[in-house]
Amino acid sequence: MIKGTIFSGMRPTGRLHIGHLSVLDNWVKLQDEYRCFFGIVDWHALTTSFDNTEELQQNIQQMLLDWLSVGIDPEKSPIFLQSHIKQHAELHLLLSMIIPLSWLERVPTFKDQIQQLGSQGKDISTYGFLGYPLLMAADILVYRADTVPVGEDQIPHIEITREIARRFNHLYNTDIFPEPQAKLAKISMLPGVDGRKMSKSYNNDIHLGSTAEDILAKVQMMVTDPKRIKKTDLGNPEVCMVHTYQNIYNLTQIEEIRTSCKAGQIGCVDCKKRLARSLDEMLVPIRERREYYLGRPELLREILAQGAKEAREVTEQTMTLVRAAMNI
Ligand code: SF4
């Protein structure tokens, strides 16, 4: 039995990496329990990268391939591009009439990001950036979604979405919008191979389409116990990035590796090769599905077109109700 309706989206800002797998694996599971709508939210990408759109289409394509390769199934869940569904923009505009400015200004990420990106010389003090939590709310409410899978850091966005739904329903004496519930997902924050946040811009990520050679090259960049010079030195796996990864991706060997490292019975080169092998084994089916879709551009277009058709049907029903409630 279907438990409810979910909208979830991602900004197409680059190729997805293994750090995204916990979110995506959760989506794959949710497809069997909820009516899911998955949007590649390209308008959101413009809120911080409005001046650099050269790679946008390529990023959209890569994101679609990544989603399909991990098992998001377009037969179960419509996959679409946000900008193909104009109802998102219409609802965003209409909600902008009723949301007090102070609600947007107090969203924690607003000031944080302005400061953070400002220190990198980027000015995002735009109308679009201030309004991005409202666009997010419109993305969710236009499907009348009652559930949104999120990590802890996104809870303020769900809170504001609930407040907007409540305000709209109250102002127009309606119950069009459910107040969506956050469905907290266990999202593991996997560090990049150099220990910093995993990001394409740091070149410390292992993207989902990596070949065995790419993986080995990235694993070789990982810092190990600095006190270990030769194989027979007793190691401390707790200070080693390879061990952090083995602990997630090589559970069948982790105990033996830990013991051997502490006893000086395994070399770091061998240890890294083992990690690279287990990461490769994990990515083989993902890579194979990716290759399948990569060779079928027509199928990719059909998937987005079919997803947009289904999304438009649902969102137009919502907008018909919204327009009637607002007498427009
Ligand atoms: Fe890290 Fe493995 Fe070397 Fe131990 S043997 S320090 S766990 S790479």
How far CA 41 is from CA of 97, 173, 253, 323, 325, in Å, comes to 22, 30, 39, 24, 27
DSSP letter, residue 84: G
pLDDT in tens, 195-252: 888 887 788 999 999 999 999 999 999 999 999 999 999 999 999 999 999 999 999 9
Residue 231 Cα to ligand 1 midpoint, Å, equals: 9
Residue 197 Cα to ligand 1 midpoint, Å, equals: 21
Could you tell me if 231 and 260 are in contact, meaning their C-beta atoms sit under 8 angstroms apart?
no
- Among 221, 223, 224, 269, the mutation site with the greatest number of ligand 1 atoms within 8 A of its Cβ is 224
- Among 271, 274, 278, 279, the mutation site with the greatest number of ligand 1 atoms within 8 A of its Cβ is 271
Exposed e or buried b per residue across 90-108, where buried means at least 16 C-beta atoms within 10 angstroms of its C-beta = bbbebbeeebeeeebeebe
Summarize the confidence of residues 301-318 as an average pLDDT. Answer: 98
Q: Is 57 exposed, middle or buried (0-12, 13-18, 19+ CB in 10 A)?
A: exposed
Residue 204 Cα to ligand 1 midpoint, Å, equals: 19
Q: Does pLDDT of 187 surpass 70?
A: no
Identify which of 56, 92, 82, 110 has the alpha carbon closest to the alpha carbon of residue 312.
82
The residue whose CA is least distant from atom 8 of ligand 1 is 268
How far CA 213 is from CA of 199, 276, 292, in Å, comes to 19, 9, 20
Nearest ligand 1 atom to the CA of 222 is: 8
Q: What is the pLDDT of residue 197?
A: 84
Could you tell me if 149 and 6 are in contact, meaning their C-beta atoms sit under 8 angstroms apart?
yes
Residue 225 Cα to ligand 1 midpoint, Å, equals: 6
Identify which of 46, 142, 42, 128 has the alpha carbon closest to the alpha carbon of residue 94.
142
| Structure tokens, 52 | 């650099």
pLDDT in tens, 259-298: 999 999 999 999 999 999 999 999 999 999 999 999 999 9
pLDDT in tens, 91-118: 999 999 999 999 998 888 777 777 777 7
Q: What is the pLDDT of residue 110?
A: 76
Q: What is the pLDDT of residue 49?
A: 83
Determine the Cα–Cα distance for residues 196 and 241; give it in Å rounded to an integer. Answer: 11
Which strands sit side by side in the sheet containing 35-40, from one edge to the other?
A: 79-81, 35-40, 5-10, 147-150, 181-184
Identify which of 167, 171, 177 has the alpha carbon closest to the alpha carbon of residue 145.
177
Lining ligand 1 with CB less than 6 A are: 224-225, 228, 235, 237, 240, 242-243, 257, 261, 266, 268, 271-272
Nearest ligand 1 atom to the CA of 241 is: 1
Chain centroid, CA 275 distance in Å:
25
Residue 145 Cα to ligand 1 midpoint, Å, equals: 46
| Structure tokens, 273 | 């090769």
Q: Helix H segments across 150-211? A: 155-171
Nearest ligand 1 atom to the CA of 228 is: 6
Q: What is the pLDDT of residue 151?
A: 80
Dihedral over Cα of 41, 43, 44, 50: its sign: positive
Could you tell me if 2 and 145 are in contact, meaning their C-beta atoms sit under 8 angstroms apart?
no
Quick check: helix, strand or coil at residue 47? helix
Q: Is 307 exposed, middle or buried (0-12, 13-18, 19+ CB in 10 A)?
A: buried
pLDDT in tens, 112-147: 777 777 777 777 788 998 999 999 999 999 999 999
Determine the Cα–Cα distance for residues 130 and 114; give it in Å rounded to an integer. Answer: 10
Determine the Cα–Cα distance for residues 127 and 47; give it in Å rounded to an integer. Answer: 9
Q: What is the pLDDT of residue 283?
A: 97
Please tell me the pTM assigned to this model: 0.92
Could you tell me if 318 and 144 are in contact, meaning their C-beta atoms sit under 8 angstroms apart?
yes
Q: Which of 53-57, 124-128, 162-166 has the lowest mean pLDDT?
A: 124-128
Nearest ligand 1 atom to the CA of 266 is: 5
Residue 243 Cα to ligand 1 midpoint, Å, equals: 6
Q: What is the pLDDT of residue 158?
A: 94
Domains contained in the chain, CATH given:
5-191+297-326 (3.40.50.620), 209-289 (1.10.240.10)
Quick check: helix, strand or coil at residue 1? coil
Q: What is the pLDDT of residue 269?
A: 95
pLDDT in tens, 70-95: 999 999 999 999 999 999 999 999 99
Could you tell me if 316 and 143 are in contact, meaning their C-beta atoms sit under 8 angstroms apart?
no
Q: Does pLDDT of 69 surpass 70?
A: yes
